[in-house]
Structure 1
């Protein structure tokens, strides 16, 4: 295989993947720190405290907890629906991929050979299926938590909190996998759009996930 035919794919694609994966690895570390500096970590702490109050007094707040979880359920269902819809559309369009690649012969579009085109569609399909799986499991966890919150007695309180945390984390992972997949889909137009979209995606995530910047003293004070 002649690697000189598509140097942009070999340079920009690994950089884009490492940038996105490295950012989320740092986000995970910052969220699980003792004093989290990210909105994700702070939100999980607030949700944990909220879940504790709901579980401790489920006789009065059980209905409130079920109604409050409705937004999380709708978000996870929406992510799962979008992921499976795009995956189905991608499978239908993959049959014409080998004909459409003849229109993109310039070097800036990267390699358009048969194996490379198959890799582009396969990587996007796997990420979409992963997003669908995480979002579907998030729905199951949140639905199960709805029953456990309203279960009588203290036997299921710990299990309810664990299911709530799993549902929220799986929902977050499923939605992030969907966003990253939208960037990978641009690989059909070459590695340059993927690199640009990955930088833009990390910038948007950074402004959403961190309050005043990474390691800000104002957050820690």
Structure 2
């Protein structure tokens, strides 16, 4: 009997997830083949020149670098705080007797038994925890960059622009990963109210993300012969 109530969840929720996964696979392909048509590729290229420019004159530009990195750290810290607060809230719901879901039983389409509700909350908890983990690692690398970027350049130093660009790329990649996991959790958050909303939210998010990820300048840029693919914040 429980299976008959869950057929919408079995069909619509995986379909919504496949739509998001398909978009990210296509975005990954574009970043690898035409990076300058995407914001990710342009940002990756800009980071390389930004680090080199800062390290050429650290005495004059170190304050600008620290302020820029501090803003990124504050953004990652905010998102990490939101993720762990949502995780704690979901953990409290899971450990309760599910009394919160009872008023929703009459309005939720699809399965709303104890197993299905537990699956919904555990899935959300897992995504928010992974998002929190990504943000905290991003903060770690940003702190490293903020400490090393003001080091004066010397022949004997091992802190090179390439090394700092790699650290900054890792930080940006982890922050992007945390954002994408957080975004993916939003449709699943609506799963509490039924699988139909999951599909609708997933379909709506694709054009929104498309306008955020791509540059509409008419240029179909190719990857430069440098290490553009290694600098990408998405791969």
Q: Flag structure 1 segments of 5+ consecutive residues without an equivalent.
A: none
Q: CA deviation at 1:151?
A: 2.2
Equivalent pair of 2:15/2:199 in contact (CA under 8 Å): yes
Whichever structure has more helix as a proportion of its residues is 1
Picking from 156, 167, 177, the partner of 2:181 is 177
Which residue is 2:206 aligned to? 202
Q: Deviations over 1:120-146 (max 9, x none)?
A: 011100100011000001111001011
Which residue number in structure 1 is paired with residue 25 of structure 2?
A: 25
Partner deviation per Cα, 1:69-123 (whole Å, 9 max, x = no partner): 1221111111101101111112223345633434344586211112111110111
- TM-score (ref. length: structure 2): 0.84
2:18 aligned with 1:6, yes or no? no
Alignment correspondent of 2:224: none
Q: CA deviation at 1:2?
A: 5.2
Residue 159 of structure 2 aligns with which residue?
Answer: 156
Q: Does residue 167 in structure 1 map to residue 171 in structure 2? A: yes
What's the RMSD between the two structures over aligned residues?
A: 2.1
Does the 8 A contact of 2:34 with 2:220 survive in 1? Answer: no
Q: Gapped runs of 5+ residues in structure 2?
A: 222-235
Does the 8 Å contact 2:148/2:159 carry over to 1?
Answer: yes
TM-score by length of 1: 0.88
Superposed counterparts of 1:46-125, under 5 Å: 46-96=46-96, 98-105=98-105, 109-125=109-125
> How many equivalent pairs are there?
217
Residues 34 and 105 of structure 1: is their aligned pair in 2 closer, same or farther, counting only changes over 3 Å? closer
